[in-house]
Amino acid sequence: MQEPNRTIADSMDFIYAGLDGVYARGTLSFVLMNIPPMQLTPLSETPERGGVGETWAWPDKLGNITRMTHLYNHPYEYLAALANVTGYNYHCNLDMSECQGLGNPESFMWFDYSHPSQRTEQIIGEQFLDVVSGESKWAVYFGG
């Protein structure tokens, strides 16, 4: 919950003060993970651009450059044939009483309208190993 009269800068200062405290106690390596870029999810996109209309999570809908952005812009490097970055695999009606998955889930970037697919999570996991070993082009490393 956001505190009254706090800015984003205040929040960042708070987070980094916590990391400084952990570092002072001997932790030398950190992995800070981001959430998927929400502007790319089918939930956030307009129907004209492949997004969904109203959903149970956003019934009134119609009223960080990262690895996932790269995956979104270059899907054939990562996803199975007929790669799909604007649609999603698992569809439900408004009350979620009826849901169904489409075929070929490995071709989708998104599982549903706001969650990464299993294949996308696998790609992130594979890249995480490079982050931990200090070899990722998607990570920013500080210190020596």
Residue spans of beta strands (DSSP E) within 36-111: 84-88, 90-92, 99-101, 108-110
pLDDT at 64: 44
CA-wise closest residue to 141 among 32, 36, 68, 35: 32
What is the DSSP code (8-state) at residue 85?
Answer: E
pLDDT of 24 strictly over 70: yes
| 78 and 111 co-located in one domain | yes
Tell me the per-residue pLDDT of 25-77, one tens digit each, with 9 for 90 and over: 998 887 777 777 777 788 777 677 777 777 777 666 555 446 777 888 899 99
| 40 and 88 co-located in one domain | yes
Say which amino acid occupies 78.
Answer: Y
Task: Please report the sign of the dihedral spanned by the C-alpha atoms of residue 108, residue 111, residue 115, residue 116.
Answer: negative
pLDDT at 65: 46
For residue 92, tell me if it sits in a domain. yes
Say which amino acid occupies 3.
Answer: E
pLDDT at 11: 80
Domain of residue 44: give its range. 35-132
For residue 144, tell me if it sits in a domain. no
CA-wise closest residue to 54 among 65, 43, 64: 43
Say which amino acid occupies 43.
Answer: L
pLDDT of 89 strictly over 60: yes
For residue 51, tell me if it sits in a domain. yes
